[in-house]
Amino acid sequence: MVTKHIITNDSADKFSTVKLPFIYQSEFYSIAWGTEHYGFFIDPQGRKYNYRLSKDYRYAITDKWKWCTPTGMVDPMQKTVYEPEEDGEITPAELFENLTNSVEYKPWFGYKKKTNIITEEMIADLLQSPIEDHEDIACDAGSFTNSLYVYDAEIDIYKRILLSMDGDIKKINQSIYTYRILSQFGTQMLRYNI
């Protein structure tokens, strides 16, 4: 049986850059035929955080969900516009707020064991590896995106490393570790609303 609970502000102290040197995210986002946005995070302790933003969610007028900002973006008002960027960044406070607005599943041994595979060597390789753009473009398919957010203490920011993107745009990180991470943590699947 899976135990879950909504994270409250009382448990916000469990989020710190020391406890979260990295976090994995898999998500689906589409604005074709209505807005769909859902996914999950997995932290180094093996906790999984699911989120699903409702169809009525108004990105432009709410501050409940924080977006990863493409590196070098000047206009802060553009943070609510989804861009299939290869890189990006998010502040620790914004990332922790997203986790707070998610549904947490207690640590699962399988995920906890799998989070131990992420090493500094792997992160360095992922950061320097090129992103191959397959130039396959689908229309109205949405985007399935898998990323690893890594904390950079020098600038107090989480840097997004794109592992893979599929759907409207197909891209993949050419690191030798990409497939291993994706297969260990899993990817977001398409959900149908009936």
pLDDT at 194: 39
Give me the residue spans of the domains in the chain: 4-185
Residue 37 pLDDT grade (very low, low, confident, very high; cuts 50, 70, 90): confident
Checking if the pLDDT of 138 tops 70, the result is no
Q: What is the mean pLDDT of the chain?
A: 76
47-88 confidence digits (pLDDT tens) = 889 888 765 554 443 455 666 666 554 454 444 444 445 578
Checking if the pLDDT of 95 tops 60, the result is yes
Beta strands (DSSP E) in the chain are 4-6, 22-30, 36-42, 48-53, 89-90, 103-105, 131-137, 143-152, 157-167, 169-173
